[in-house]
Structure 1
Amino acid sequence: MHVWYASYGSNLARDRFLCYLRGGRPQGATRTYPGARDQSHPLGDAPIELPGQVFFGWHSPTWDGGVAFYDASSTGGALARAYLITEGQFADVAAQEMHRDPGEDLDLSTVLEERKHSLGPGRYESLHLLGDLEGHPVLTFTSPDDADLPHNPPSEAYLAMVAQGLRETHEHPDEHLVDYLLDCPGVSPHWTWEQVSDLVAV
């Protein structure tokens, strides 16, 4: 089975996401990823908008700052990019997000039936079913409990990667993307409109 993986953070940028499939180190990161068992490129990708909101929290040693999480319970909309990949690739991406070695499949039956499934207490171990696209389920993962993740501003390298992915994926004016990022909890007041504008405009 193929699934759409809905990315809303740095994986919006295609080259960064391919590090999870083919291995490698994203620009600005301190970690090199082993890649997935199946290193094939996605069969497709598409811009989508998710119900809910993106926020930045925790402190990632890979990016030296807060990273993106998805709050499905919030109002608003989260700009995302969906990649059409295999179940095995989705499992290997999730494993690498949790700093585990890829290689074990995930049982997706619970999330496909109940729309949400917490695999464990880790930062990206809550699976969400967000709908259907072209006959395939749209899935993402985030923190099981948003309350356990205090907001934390992202580093320049990470926010620049998110901005790059938004530009690649969504045909919005730069001003719209700046406002969108500043509306994500954890970005302001650490980041100003002018600073985010400079990252978006690169």
Structure 2
Amino acid sequence: MALTLIRDPRTTTPDGAERIDFGAFERMGRELAHLRDEVPAKSEEFEDALDEIVDFQREDGSFSLVSDYRIESDSRVEYVYRPSYACCQILVKAVLSGSEGLVNGIDEFLDALRRGLAFCCGRSLAGHGYESERQQVEDLRNFMSAGYLRLAHARPGLCPEFDEMVHGIVAGYERRLRDCATVFGFGTDLTLGMSDVVEAFGGDGRVAVFVYGTLMEGASRAGALEGCAHLGSARLDGHALYDLGEFPGIRPSDDGGCVLGELRLVDARHLDELDRIEGSGRLFDRAPVDVVVAGATRTFTRRAFAYVYRGEVAPWRRVPEALQPWTRTVSLRRTHVWYVAYGSCLLRERFMRYLAGGVCADNGREYEPCSDPTPPVCDVPFIIGHSVYFGNRSRSWGGAGAAFLDVDHDGIAHGRAYLITREQYEWVRNKEGRSADWYGREVNLGSLAGIPAVTFTSEKPRPSNAPSAAYLDVVRRGMEEAYPALGRDVVSELLLDMCAQRRED
């Protein structure tokens, strides 16, 4: 493919009118890219093209495809500057290769390259409009591929203004990477390209990445970050962590939520791998966030990237902060369960008598402690899809009724889930009574953060019996404690509905 460069290409339409030949512009662009990227420097095709390029250069140093620069900015980029960049890149390739065509005229070619590089400084390699930054990265990488770094080392001072411009661009990229300011209009993400450029120039092309799930140290995909610096434990405010099954995801939150994780410094190669693992742009978006880092000597705020889940999440999949980071959540799955209370144990103080032992102030009964009296890891509100009724005659509450769950019918009950060990759960079951007439039937209520949520009720419906005032007061206080936003009036209405429920043998 012989290179033919034409300035101001024109064509004639069938009706005899003359117009700009845009097809010729595209052809010349393809030919220049072909020479730069594919044609060997020591080939006849390449040698012939060098003379064509040098002869085509204008007095101002450009290799413009148009004579008049008074055109729209986007056209000036495409038909004046980018052809000039491509011709200079080809000349760089030629000078470094020692092409035969340069043997008798190296000074001529070096002068053409010097003048061309000086012209290329006119726009700092920037493109046009929203493509400006992307084209700049692309053109700078093309210069690097052609061998600009080797040329700058072999022939220092060939074009000082070009060298200064390039180092300024690279320094700007390094700042942008540090600030995670590498995503531009219409979602153009130039992080990887800028990182490649900075690293090629010997700078720090790493970006900070907040990891909170399977990429954390000790987790299943930690190997993907092998060799990446660890900056410390970190907290991301304004977001919430959700259990998505085998891995978690985060979503923005306006309720004061936070996510616990780690901050890592990641180079271009590792970041590319992370984007692939996280399905960046499909399953997750890599977004800039501000995280609080607990460093070895101080706490500081750092701009970082985090992979934010793109899909919708159910509220019940949210992972409480007390269970974080995710590695702790995974560990708790092996040892803990959520015990979902819906009666007197809605009140935390009452529930703690089962674990810690001691006298319950509300019924005067003394309880022996569990062998593991540790308080629950945390507790959360838990809406149960069944209603509660009062039945049987409880000796602990003066023969009045106790709460039972009506699992044979749908309904709504406001429960409270305590995260306790499996040993503690079995202890609570024993204390509540495992007989068929009391709490012999275990009920699976799903899971939270991948940890089973369970409770218990009678195997068959029990005769209705009203609760004592003391028992009902404990339930009320527990509900107000677990659901402070409901308010006393709403809680009172909910208790009236519970008392109205009736079940018989």
TM-score by length of 1: 0.78
| Higher relative contact order (Cα pairs below 8 Å, separated by 6+ residues) | 1
Aligned pairs for 1:28-43 (under 5 A) are 28-43=362-377
Unpaired segments ≥5 residues, structure 1: 99-118, 189-202
Q: Which residue does 2:442 correspond to in 1? A: 127
- Correspondence for 2:465: 152
Taking the aligned partners of 1:37 and 1:97, their CA distance within structure 2 comes to 17
Q: Is the 8 A contact 1:57 1:186 kept in 2?
A: no
Matched, 1:168 2:168: no
CA contact (8 A) 1:132 1:138 kept: yes
Q: Is the 8 A contact 1:19 1:35 kept in 2?
A: yes
Tell me by how many angstroms 1:31 deviates: 2.3
Please list the CA deviations of residues 10-62 of structure 1 after superposition, one character each: whole Å capped at 9, or x if unmatched: 00000000000000121221421112111000001000100010100111111
AA at the equivalent of 1:4: W
Q: Hey, what's the Cα distance between the residues in 1 that align with 2:453 and 2:343? A: 16
How many Å apart are 1:121 and its aligned residue?
Answer: 1.8
**Secondary structure in structure 1 of the residue aligned to 2:396:** coil
Aligned residues: 166
> Is the alpha carbon distance of 1:86 and 1:157 closer, same or farther for their aligned partners in structure 2, counting shifts above 3 Å?
same
Distance 1:78 1:96, change over 3 A: same
Query: Residues 81-113 of structure 1, C-alpha deviation per residue, up to 9 Å, x if partnerless?
Result: 000000000000111112xxxxxxxxxxxxxxx
Q: Is the 8 A contact 1:152 1:186 kept in 2?
A: no
Find the partner of 1:6 among 331, 335, 340: 340
TM superposition shift of 1:174: 1.8
TM-score by length of 2: 0.32
Does the 8 A contact of 1:153 with 1:187 survive in 2? no
Q: Which has the higher strand share?
A: 1
Residues 30-179 of structure 1 correspond to what in structure 2 (within 5 A)?
30-64=364-398, 65-98=400-433, 120-146=435-461, 149-170=462-483, 171-179=485-493
Query: 1:23–1:36: 8 Å Cα contact kept in structure 2?
Result: yes
Aligned residues with identical type, % of pairs: 39
CA RMSD of aligned residues (A): 1.6
Task: Answer whether contact 2:387 2:411 (CA < 8 A) is retained.
Answer: yes
Give the letter for the 2:419 counterpart: L
The C-alpha deviation readout for 1:141-179, integer Å capped at 9, x for no partner, is 111101xx1111111110000000000001202221111
Specify the structure having the higher radius of gyration (Cα): 2
Question: 1:153 touches 1:186 (CA, 8 Å); kept in 2?
Answer: no
Local SS of the residue matching 1:62? helix
What amino acid is the match of 1:144?
Answer: E
The one-letter code sitting in structure 1 at the alignment partner of 2:420 is I
